[in-house]
Amino acid sequence: MPLSQPGLVEVAQSVYAYVQPDGGWCLNNAGLVVDPDCVLLVDTTATERRTKELITAIETKAPHGPDYLVNTHFHGDHTFGNSYFRPRATIIAHADCARDQILAGPGLRGLWPDVDWGGTPVDAADITYTGNAAVHVGDRRVSLLHSGPAHTSGDTIVWLPDDGVLFAGDVVWAGTTPFCLMGSVTGSLAVIEELRGLGPRTVVPGHGPVGGPELLDQTERYLSWLMDVAIEGVARGRTVLEAAAAADLGEFGALLDSERIVGNLHRAYAELDGMPQGAQIDVGIAFAEMVEFHGSLPSCHA
Ligand SMILES: [Zn+2]
């Protein structure tokens, strides 16, 4: 049954997803892997209040809190709570995640100045990796897989091979519109194919309810459709906003935060124009056009 409040969902023995309904802007998921001698947390939340709720939930399973905190990517909804897990936790991220987290600083807060972010200092990883890495939580191997660019250039996929559990970060979405303005559309499609190859039984998306491999299919379907909209838009000489307005959302109209089509099209247009995956584009212009398309600032319930 879908949760109405943030809470833990057991996805394997002593492995939990922390799901924050409804999964819209800045309402992300986290993950928890518990062993008597070692605890690993995947991501935090956007605000002080929400991170304190996460800590309360963690304490019901692991009173001492996490020893390791893995950030799936640099976005503030996943990382603004990092400092609350000091001094016990060692923070681990892909090198590009830590770099981009420091570059972005508290920038996300400026997009939604009315949100009560609380005390959320930027606190980047202690240990960074490139390629892949692993953390051993008791007898459990927790694989940290990097590929892409996908949602960003520094995504980490957290994969528990013995349990078939995939913490996909924002590479995979459920019930909410995928978003890869800061990564790559084509790269996301390639990474989703790689994730399918792992054979996950359970997929914890970055936002929205826990599901199975069908979540990979759903995100892939949206991104493939988006690429078609971009190709047609370029062929007809449409601007991004014109292409977004002309697009028939079809089944994707039921997803939250549909205005992300504008940001996604900015990335798709750049890629069709030959820009390398993950290269910097003007996020400010894209966000302003998303607001224009939406007709007002999209709601953020962080
Ligand atoms: Zn994100």
Domain range for residue 100? 7-294
Determine the distance separating the centroid of ligand 1 and the alpha carbon of 247, expressed in angstroms: 24
Determine the distance separating the centroid of ligand 1 and the alpha carbon of 151, expressed in angstroms: 7
**pLDDT of the residue at 3:** 73
**pLDDT of the residue at 1:** 53
Determine the distance separating the centroid of ligand 1 and the alpha carbon of 215, expressed in angstroms: 16
Determine the distance separating the centroid of ligand 1 and the alpha carbon of 22, expressed in angstroms: 15
Residues surrounding ion ligand 1 at CB below 5 Å: 75, 170
Provide the domain count of the chain.
1
Determine the distance separating the centroid of ligand 1 and the alpha carbon of 63, expressed in angstroms: 28
pLDDT per position as a tens digit, 140-176: 999 999 999 999 999 999 999 999 999 999 999 999 9
pLDDT per position as a tens digit, 119-147: 999 999 999 999 999 999 999 999 999 99
In a domain, 302, yes or no: no
Determine the distance separating the centroid of ligand 1 and the alpha carbon of 199, expressed in angstroms: 23
**pLDDT of the residue at 123:** 98
Determine the distance separating the centroid of ligand 1 and the alpha carbon of 37, expressed in angstroms: 30
pLDDT per position as a tens digit, 199-223: 999 999 999 999 999 999 999 999 9
The percentage of residues in the chain with a pLDDT greater than 90, rounded to a whole number, is: 99
Determine the distance separating the centroid of ligand 1 and the alpha carbon of 155, expressed in angstroms: 9
In a domain, 146, yes or no: yes
In a domain, 300, yes or no: no
Determine the distance separating the centroid of ligand 1 and the alpha carbon of 28, expressed in angstroms: 8
Instruction: Give me the tens of pLDDT residue by residue for the chain, a chain 302 residues long.
Output: 567 899 999 999 999 999 999 999 999 999 999 999 999 999 999 999 999 999 999 999 999 999 999 999 999 999 999 999 999 999 999 999 999 999 999 999 999 999 999 999 999 999 999 999 999 999 999 999 999 999 999 999 999 999 999 999 999 999 999 999 999 999 999 999 999 999 999 999 999 999 999 999 999 999 999 999 999 999 999 999 999 999 999 999 999 999 999 999 999 999 999 999 999 999 999 999 999 999 999 999 99
In a domain, 2, yes or no: no
- In this structure, what CATH number is given to the domain that contains residue 106? 3.60.15.10
Determine the distance separating the centroid of ligand 1 and the alpha carbon of 107, expressed in angstroms: 13
In a domain, 301, yes or no: no
Determine the distance separating the centroid of ligand 1 and the alpha carbon of 297, expressed in angstroms: 18
**pLDDT of the residue at 2:** 62
**pLDDT of the residue at 4:** 86
In a domain, 153, yes or no: yes
In a domain, 168, yes or no: yes
Q: What is the DSSP string of the chain?
A: ---SS-EEEEEETTEEEEE-TT--TT---EEEEEETTEEEEE---SSHHHHHHHHHHHHTT-TT--SEEE-SSS-HHHHTTGGGGTTTPEEEEEHHHHHHHHHHTTHHHHH-TTS---S------SEEESS-EEEEETTEEEEEE---SSSSSS--EEEETTTTEEEEEEEEESSB----TTS-HHHHHHHHHHHHHH--SEEEEEES--B-THHHHHHHHHHHHHHHHHHHHHHTT--HHHHHHH---GGGGGSB-TTHHHHHHHHHHHHHTTPPTT----HHHHHHHHHHHHTSPPP---
Determine the distance separating the centroid of ligand 1 and the alpha carbon of 298, expressed in angstroms: 16
Determine the distance separating the centroid of ligand 1 and the alpha carbon of 283, expressed in angstroms: 13
In a domain, 257, yes or no: yes
